[in-house]
Amino acid sequence: MSAARFIVGGKVQGVWFRAATREQALRLGICGYAKNLPDGRVEVVASGSDDAVATLERWLWQGPPLANVSEVKRQDLLSATVTTGFDTL
């Protein structure tokens, strides 16, 4: 199991990024959340199997069709505070 916090930059707000991230996370069995930040980036906290979190990280670089991702920063966490489900905040 692994947990990570991602900060995603670029054109990632107003393009259904959080909803699409939720769909991907649920498909992968990942718990956590996606949240818009005031500076225009999106924060994603994800907890799941190592492979699932790595797959989500690769997907974050692409995002949904209308997104234009310019950066994905990862911070590994000791554990995630969210234990069930995946929310959009």
Residue 47: name the closest of 76, 23, 20, 80 by CA. 80
Task: Judge contact between 6 and 12, C-beta under 8 A.
Answer: no
Contacts of 49 (CB under 8 A, 6+ apart): 1, 2, 29
Which residue in 5, 36, 58, 74 is the catalytic one? 36
For residue 36, indicate whether it is catalytic: yes
Alpha-carbon span 50 to 25, nearest angstrom: 13
Determine which one of 18, 27, 41, 68 is catalytic: 18
Q: Is 74 one of the annotated active-site residues of the chain? A: no
Question: Among all chains, which residue has been given the structure tokens 């069709």?
Answer: 65
Catalytic residue list: 18, 36
